Structure 1
Amino acid sequence: MNRAGCGPSQRLRALAALAGAALLSALWLLWLLGSTPVGVPVPPPTLVILVWHWPFTDRPPELPSNTCISYGVARCHLSTDHSLLASADAVVFHHRELQTQRARLPLASRPRGQPWVWASMESPSHTHGLGRLGGIFNWVLSYRQDSDIFVPYGRLEPHEGPVPPLPAKKRVAAWVVSNFQERQRRVQLYRQLAPHLQVDVFGRASRKPLCASCLLPAVARYLFYLSFENSQHRDYITEKFWRNALAAGTVPVVLGPPRATYEAFTPADAFVHVDDFGTAQELASFLVGMNESRYRHYLAWRARLRVRLFEDWRERFCAICTRYPHLPRGQVYEDLKGWFQA
């Protein structure tokens, strides 16, 4: 019986089939190795926030890649490099430099669809030139609760552990003020209080300045601190309340927005509001006549809460990245002045 042998052409076809199968197997393996496993989310890209001019200085701070990580914000890079204008995910402009014309808007070079952020922590009374900024900005960063990026001057956070002790209270009331103008409501109120309430005034206005590290220890020796804002506007509660009074461990006597606004941030019994009294003399009598038990009640919040201050512009700008996924695309503030002065 003859056994037919494999001819040369058959062997070549068999080898080609084996080679093709090997190639397909290799390509399949490479695809498996290079693909993302099912169910593993792809991390979002790092957002680049371009700060066109750093607030109040021509020398911006160092901005290493981990700047925002130190504030609990990941994948967020702050930069002041103008060459990134074409590629930045958002550009933020601080109003003071626009107001003084130390910085100008690069309108001619603005990439199509790029979000621009208007930033300011000043009150409307000290904010000028908004009329020429209509139809430019998409988002707002400010202390206003209805801002796209809401950044308060401070807030209260839960606190556990022993309450930091306070020094003995040796004086009645303190006030630190530099901008002292008779037309201001706070100055008028001080003039009305002074005959009935012992108020020690510090700051440039009284030629008794306090160094940065001296302010809180000095104020802590007083029962009350006059947290009088330089102007009264919606949500405008500044460091005069958060740092100078609450962080110092004294009871703030507040002049600013209505009581309800303060109560949105702090317990109702953590402060004394001037609007609760018909006259300055009534307010003074209430403060002077307060007994120790009632005074301790105003400090009871310290057993469960602590003050968190937001004073660093780096942290404020990193907040843009936190809010970025939730911000409205295509929004434009056509009347920025009308919105801010409302």
Structure 2
Amino acid sequence: MSKGMGAPACTMASYSMITMKKFAGAMFLLGAVFLNLTFLAQPFHNPSRTQAQNRSLMVLIWDWPYGHALNLTGDPCATLCSIKGCQLTWNRNLYNQADVVVFHHWALQHRRSRPPASKPHPGQKWVWLSLESPSHSNDLARWDGVFNWTMTFRRDSDIFIPYGELVAQPSDEVDIPEKSGLVSWVISHYHHTQQRAQLFRNLSKYIKVDVYGRANKKPLCPACLLPTISKYKFYLAFENSVHRDYITEKLWRNSLLAGSVPVVMGPPRANYQQFIPGDAFIHVDDFGSVKELADFLLTMNESRYQRFFEWKRSFAVKLYDSWPERFCTICQCFPSLPQGKVYHSLEKWFWS
């Protein structure tokens, strides 16, 4: 398993300076370097912007994520990610000056917004953003030939924004919360036709599952979520649909961070192992039947159970749930993003 997995890497760019033997020579060289850097900055150039504005990359967030306003005061990218020269704005009046414009598919899908008819200059890039699975992303064909870059949970996105990752953090001790229950599940949107709902009903025939969430009229307050789940040995990290790389907070926060062994239903085991060690979770596909899965959970001895937490000796969970941090990733990735790219079929790419 690789470390980092290409997740948002908020690192400050470093620069080196050449030391000259003579002060006068150094001043001359620095002047030349300054002129060269000004020339190299031309890809960011927008004729409608002032010289001072050209020092920053401007990212315009066209739609608030799920309609929730963000606090973008100050310099969030410098504060959160040590990224300088990255200006985030929601002010559509700055559209003509923006280098990058981000459109959230949730708003497009629900007709809450519409992109402008055209770009103000050829250098402006449009980003299609979605954290929902293809099964819950409708009307994709409407945007064929519109967007330059994608920003999703998919590892092959131009801008990769996973729900979480394991970061290197060696530890001599493995902390396992005290357990008083066997299996829990938190579910807000329950539809009986979903694969996860069918699996839950079949599993419930052989093992008791304590269900929380709005769907079961047992909601948990935000501060109650992790302490409640941590009391259970296993957590049903069932995704609402099965797609490549679609591994959400159900694994990262509700299971691994809470200290409960995830029983996952989602993409194949091999896909999960591109994110976490293979001995850190239980995949429903590992069993020939639901009864076999239930028997495995019911007969688990303590020694075997503790081995699921060996990953804690080397890693810690890092959640990516800050929207400003996600948007700052655009500036982090910008120098290496492909130029001249257009998605002629978002649907074909997203469902591949």
Residue 73 (1) aligns with residue 83 (2)? yes
From 327, 338, 342, the equivalent of 2:337 is: 327
Bigger mean CA offset, 204-213 vs 37-46: 37-46
Residue 349 of structure 2: aligned partner: 339
Q: Distance in 1 between matches of 2:263 and 2:83?
A: 35
Where 1:299 maps in the other structure, the secondary structure is helix
CA contact (8 A) 1:173 1:222 kept: yes
Residue 205 of structure 2: aligned partner: 195
Q: Distance in 1 between matches of 2:132 and 2:196?
A: 17
Where 2:58 maps in the other structure, the secondary structure is strand
Q: Distance in 1 between matches of 2:81 and 2:238?
A: 30
Structure 1 alignment gaps of length 5 or more: 1-29
Give CA deviations for 1:163-206 in whole Å, capped at 9, x if unaligned.
47333111100000011111100000011100211210000111
- Give the share of equivalent positions with the same residue, in percent: 46
Q: 1:69 to 1:255 in 2, by over 3 A?
A: same
Where 1:252 maps in the other structure, the secondary structure is strand
Residue 259 of structure 2: aligned partner: 249
| AA aligned opposite 1:170 | S
TM-score by length of 2: 0.84
Residue 287 (1) aligns with residue 281 (2)? no
Q: Distance in 2 between matches of 1:164 and 1:111?
A: 54
CA contact (8 A) 2:99 2:123 kept: no
Residue 141 (1) aligns with residue 135 (2)? no
Where 2:192 maps in the other structure, the secondary structure is coil
CA contact (8 A) 1:63 1:78 kept: no
Q: Distance in 2 between matches of 1:181 and 1:270?
A: 28
Residue 236 of structure 1: aligned partner: 246
| AA aligned opposite 1:188 | Q
- Counterparts in 2 of 1:1-342, with a 5 A limit? 36-37=30-31, 42=37, 45-57=55-67, 59-161=69-171, 163=173, 165-342=175-352
Give CA deviations for 1:87-137 in whole Å, capped at 9, x if unaligned.
111111111111111111012354323110000000011111111100000
| AA aligned opposite 1:319 | T
CA contact (8 A) 1:49 1:77 kept: yes
Where 2:272 maps in the other structure, the secondary structure is helix
Q: Distance in 2 between matches of 1:292 and 1:58?
A: 44
Q: 1:327 to 1:177 in 2, by over 3 A?
A: same
CA root-mean-square deviation: 2.2
How many pairs align?
314
| AA aligned opposite 2:208 | Q
Where 1:197 maps in the other structure, the secondary structure is coil
Q: Distance in 2 between matches of 1:184 and 1:289?
A: 28
Q: 1:289 to 1:223 in 2, by over 3 A?
A: same
Q: How far 1:161 moved relative to its partner?
A: 4.3
Q: How far 1:63 moved relative to its partner?
A: 3.3
TM-score by length of 1: 0.87
CA contact (8 A) 2:196 2:240 kept: yes
Q: Distance in 1 between matches of 2:113 and 2:161?
A: 23
Q: Distance in 2 between matches of 1:255 and 1:308?
A: 21
Give CA deviations for 1:301-338 in whole Å, capped at 9, x if unaligned.
11211000001111111111111010110000000111
| AA aligned opposite 1:36 | L
Structure 2 alignment gaps of length 5 or more: 1-23, 42-54
CA contact (8 A) 1:152 1:310 kept: yes
Q: Distance in 2 between matches of 1:202 and 1:310?
A: 23
Q: How far 1:244 moved relative to its partner?
A: 0.2
Q: 1:158 to 1:35 in 2, by over 3 A?
A: closer
| AA aligned opposite 1:55 | P
